[in-house]
């Protein structure tokens, strides 16, 4: 396994895989189980599965989809989307998921992170931090509810608090770079990684394999996630579930 984990970030909406651009305009890209089978063949290290409608649309946690994906998934699986209770945490992990990712609930009820960590251990708790650039001044702010609610909270401050509450890992999402394939926001990644000691997964903007190396070597990320890069092919974004070869990853990460 590579020292730096590289993982697909797959988005769910109404049980189907979609891809967004700046958290908007979800486009259908396939069936989740079929995608998992392809990533199994490509020996992916880890996989992130996030339901983007569970909180905002009120659809709830898709336990049926989680169960089907977990039964097919050969690699460690993290699920996020709509998690608000400890019972939900236990049910998701019991379905075969290795880690749960808490997003909106971490903003609205931060102590839930501590309760979850106390129940299942920090190593199973990821806090997902969605971030936008501020509108009228320099810097960044944390957003909730799929990026629709601006909190005014600096992501480095929020990341430190999540670490203190027991998060074992942080998933840092740049809303402004999501789906653009224009490269990670290295300044944002560095801003957060310099504030915490837990691993940070960089997400949002990967457009080529070299972007992984930049996120790690320049930004200080411990792991990297990608969406568009691993579900699209070519300038016209034809849907093709894919993943870089080990040789390509070794070249940019080692």
pLDDT in tens, 159-173: 999 999 999 999 999
| Bridge partners, 150 (sequence order) | 143
In 83-168, where do the E strands start and end? Answer: 99-102, 125-133, 140-144, 149-150
Catalytic, out of 46, 51, 130, 185? 130
Instruction: Identify the pLDDT of residue 235.
Output: 76
CATH of span 5-253: 3.20.20.70
Chain segment 142-162, per-residue pLDDT in tens: 999 999 999 999 999 999 999
CA distances from 177 to 24, 135, 180 (A): 12, 15, 5
Instruction: Return the H-helix or E-strand segment holding 250.
Output: helix 246-253
Q: What is the mean pLDDT of residues 175-196?
A: 97
- Please check the confidence at residue 62 and state whether its pLDDT lies above 60: yes
CA 71 to chain centre: 20
Instruction: Identify the pLDDT of residue 2.
Output: 52
Rounded-to-integer distance, Cα 206 and Cα 8, Å? 11
Alpha-carbon Rg of the chain, whole angstroms?
Answer: 17
Give the sign of the dihedral formed by CA 221, CA 223, CA 227, CA 233. positive
Q: Is 130 a catalytic residue?
A: yes
For the chain, give the mean pLDDT: 95
Chain segment 3-45, per-residue pLDDT in tens: 799 999 999 999 999 999 999 999 999 999 999 999 999 989 8
Instruction: Identify the pLDDT of residue 65.
Output: 96
**For the whole model, what pTM was predicted?**
0.96
């Amino acid at each position: 396994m590579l020292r730096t984990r590289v993982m697909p970030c797959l988005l769910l909406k109404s049980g189907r895989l979609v891809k967004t651009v700046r958290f908007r305009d979800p486009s259908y890209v396939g069936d989740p189980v079929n995608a998992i089978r392809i990533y199994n063949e490509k020996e992916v290290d880890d996989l992130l599965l996030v339901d983007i409608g569970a909180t905002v649309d009120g659809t709830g946690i898709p336990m049926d989809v989680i169960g089907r994906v977990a039964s097919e998934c050969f690699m460690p699986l993290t699920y996020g989307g709509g998690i608000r209770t400890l019972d939900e945490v236990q049910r998701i992990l019991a379905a075969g998921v290795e880690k749960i990712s808490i997003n909106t609930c971490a903003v609205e009820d931060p102590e839930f992170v501590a309760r979850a960590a106390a129940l299942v251990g920090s190593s199973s708790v990821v806090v997902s931090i969605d971030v936008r650039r501020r509108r009228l001044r320099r810097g960044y702010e944390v957003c909730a509810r799929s990026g629709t609610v601006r909190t005014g909270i600096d992501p480095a401050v929020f990341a430190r608090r999540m670490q203190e509450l027991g998060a074992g890992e942080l998933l840092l999402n740049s809303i402004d770079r999501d789906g653009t394939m224009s490269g990670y926001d290295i300044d944002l990644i560095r801003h957060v990684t310099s504030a915490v000691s837990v691993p940070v997964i960089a997400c949002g903007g990967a457009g080529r394999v070299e972007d992984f190396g930049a996120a790690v070597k320049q930004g200080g990320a411990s792991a990297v996630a990608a969406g568009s890069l691993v579900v699209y092919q070519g300038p016209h974004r034809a849907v093709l579930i894919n993943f870089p070869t080990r040789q390509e990853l070794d070249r940019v990460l080692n």
